[in-house]
């Protein structure tokens, strides 16, 4: 592969095949580096841009992909040669939100594959300020392309579990244990919760159970009242409180969000992680009656990425069997499969440009 060429798979318009293009490598500003992409995970957000009508901030054509790992090959001298993970949300680091500990919602933030060309490419140009260097000891256990999932699939649920103020012994109910949801369930377990995984896919549920989730429940075709009663029974079995549940909606579906809201009880916290364009009606007075709360999360603060890597370094979270690497040239096939939820492991696309 010629070193002065960037190879990319670009979205030209929704639901059309991504187009392979070549161009000259971009010029860098003083605060930017060029990263040679090792791997880029396929996220539900990418599929939302491509298939579900969600608009990107940057006009099309655009190279998608925000779950990126790689090696810095050009730019600031102190970064060259380092293996890095690029945070999915890159803040300015200077505004009141950043200085107040809310850098993930910095209003000056930029996101690869949304505000500028992302990681479904051979190279990506990014600001250097919040790059996360991967320690050598972690690279002895995982390849750099496998670690691409840290950029979103692992870091996002890490932040939301932390924000939910989960405590040891709490009951955590995770709705949707595909890619992000499974990591959320495992992280909640690491934080000391008793975890119930809900899904409509037995394979995903069984995998969650095999990885340490306490209980699983297939909710296919069940009414909300029935599901809630079953969770109450499981809670008794696990000897967890009948109140104060930590509920994580990660399915990104209307039915999942409706269920999550209706699972609220006294002192509960509902965390919304999954995204959908669909709407449904709720009775907000439930929040008053239960003294409950609902929180959202957007990506993960870049400052938290070293904490996430620590879970991997200490072997508290194991990810090898949760990832499948696929040549990037198969991107159109992968996107179509992802629309239909064919994958039970997170697809990470690895550049194979000639």
pLDDT bracket for residue 4 (50, 70, 90)? confident
Range of the domain at 88: 5-152+300-350
> How far is residue 126's CA from residue 123's CA, in Å, rounded to a whole number?
10
pLDDT tens digits for range 215-228: 999 999 999 999 99
Provide the mean pLDDT of the chain: 96
CATH number at residue 76: 3.90.180.10
CATH number at residue 272: 3.40.50.720
- Give the model's pLDDT for residue 277: 86
Coil, strand, or helix at residue 253? coil
Asked if 10 and 94 sit in the same domain, the reply is: yes
DSSP state of 28: -
Asked if 194 and 238 sit in the same domain, the reply is: yes
Its pTM stands at: 0.94
pLDDT tens digits for range 39-51: 999 999 999 999 9
Burial class (CB in 10 A: 0-12, 13-18, 19+), 190: middle
Asked if 322 and 246 sit in the same domain, the reply is: no
Q: Average pLDDT, stretch 144-152?
A: 97
Is pLDDT above 60 for 18? Answer: yes
- Give the model's pLDDT for residue 341: 85
Total domains, the chain: 2
> How far is residue 284's CA from residue 292's CA, in Å, rounded to a whole number?
10
Asked if 313 and 207 sit in the same domain, the reply is: no
DSSP string, 154-206: THHHHHHHHHTT--TT-EEEEE--SHHHHHHHHHHHHTT-EEEEEES-HHHHH
Is pLDDT above 70 for 354? Answer: no
> How far is residue 66's CA from residue 86's CA, in Å, rounded to a whole number?
8
- Out of 253, 271, 296, pick the residue that ends a domain: 296
- Give the model's pLDDT for residue 283: 94
Asked if 230 and 189 sit in the same domain, the reply is: yes
Coil, strand, or helix at residue 45? helix
Asked if 83 and 207 sit in the same domain, the reply is: no
- Give the model's pLDDT for residue 276: 86
- Cα–Cα distances in angstroms (integers) from residue 171 to residues 125, 161, 193, 241, 327, in the given order: 42, 12, 6, 7, 40
Q: What percent of the chain has pLDDT over 90?
A: 94
Q: Average pLDDT, stretch 68-76?
A: 97
Is pLDDT above 90 for 37? Answer: yes
Asked if 309 and 292 sit in the same domain, the reply is: no
Q: Average pLDDT, stretch 173-180?
A: 94
Q: Average pLDDT, stretch 154-160?
A: 97
DSSP state of 146: G
CB atoms within 10 A of CB 101: 9
Q: Average pLDDT, stretch 304-317?
A: 97
> How far is residue 305's CA from residue 309's CA, in Å, rounded to a whole number?
6
pLDDT bracket for residue 315 (50, 70, 90)? very high
Question: Residue 303: what are its φ and ψ, rounded to 5°?
Answer: -65, -20
Asked if 229 and 253 sit in the same domain, the reply is: yes
Asked if 22 and 124 sit in the same domain, the reply is: yes
Bridge pairing between strands 171-175 and 246-249: parallel
Asked if 19 and 146 sit in the same domain, the reply is: yes
**Is the model more confident about 205 or about 179?**
205
- Give the model's pLDDT for residue 170: 97
> How far is residue 111's CA from residue 89's CA, in Å, rounded to a whole number?
5
Asked if 213 and 232 sit in the same domain, the reply is: yes
Is there a contact between 270 and 292 (Cβ–Cβ < 8 Å)? yes
Asked if 93 and 185 sit in the same domain, the reply is: no
- Out of 269, 296, 323, pick the residue that ends a domain: 296
- Give the model's pLDDT for residue 344: 84
């Amino acid at each position: 592969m010629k070193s002065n060429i960037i190879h990319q798979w670009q979205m030209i318009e929704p639901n059309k095949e991504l187009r392979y293009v070549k161009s000259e490598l971009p010029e860098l500003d003083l605060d930017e580096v060029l990263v040679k992409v090792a791997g880029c995970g396929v996220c539900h957000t990418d599929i939302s841009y491509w298939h579900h009508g969600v608009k990107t901030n940057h006009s099309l054509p655009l190279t998608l992909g925000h779950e990126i790992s790689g090696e810095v090959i050009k730019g600031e001298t102190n970064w060259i040669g380092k293996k890095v993970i690029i945070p999915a949300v890159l803040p300015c680091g200077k505004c009141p939100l950043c200085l107040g500990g809310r850098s993930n919602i910095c209003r000056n933030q930029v996101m690869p594959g949304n505000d500028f060309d992302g990681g479904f490419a051979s190279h990506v140009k990014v600001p250097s300020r919040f790059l996360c260097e991967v320690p050598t000891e972690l690279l002895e256990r995982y390849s750099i392309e496998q670690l691409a999932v840290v950029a979103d699939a692992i870091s996002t649920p890490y932040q939301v579990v932390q924000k939910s103020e989960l405590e040891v012994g709490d009951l955590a109910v995770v709705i949707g244990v595909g890619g992000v949801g499974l990591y959320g369930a495992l992280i909640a377990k690491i934080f000391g919760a008793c975890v119930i995984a809900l899904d409509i896919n037995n394979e995903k549920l069984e995998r969650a159970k095999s990885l340490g989730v306490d209980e699983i429940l297939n909710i296919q075709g069940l009414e909300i009242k029935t599901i809630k009663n079953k969770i109450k029974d499981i809670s008794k079995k696990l000897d967890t409180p009948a109140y104060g549940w930590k509920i994580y909606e990660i399915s990104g579906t209307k039915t999942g969000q409706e269920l999550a809201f209706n699972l609220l009880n006294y002192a509960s916290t509902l965390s919304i992680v999954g995204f959908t364009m669909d709407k449904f009606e709720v009775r907000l007075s439930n929040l008053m009656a239960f003294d409950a709360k609902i929180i959202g999360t957007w990506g993960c603060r870049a400052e938290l990425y070293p904490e996430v890597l620590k879970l991997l370094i200490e072997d508290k979270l194991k990810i090898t069997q949760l990832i499948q690497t696929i040549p990037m040239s198969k991107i159109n096939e992968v996107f179509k499969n992802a629309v239909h939820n064919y994958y039970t492991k997170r697809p990470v696309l690895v550049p194979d440009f000639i």
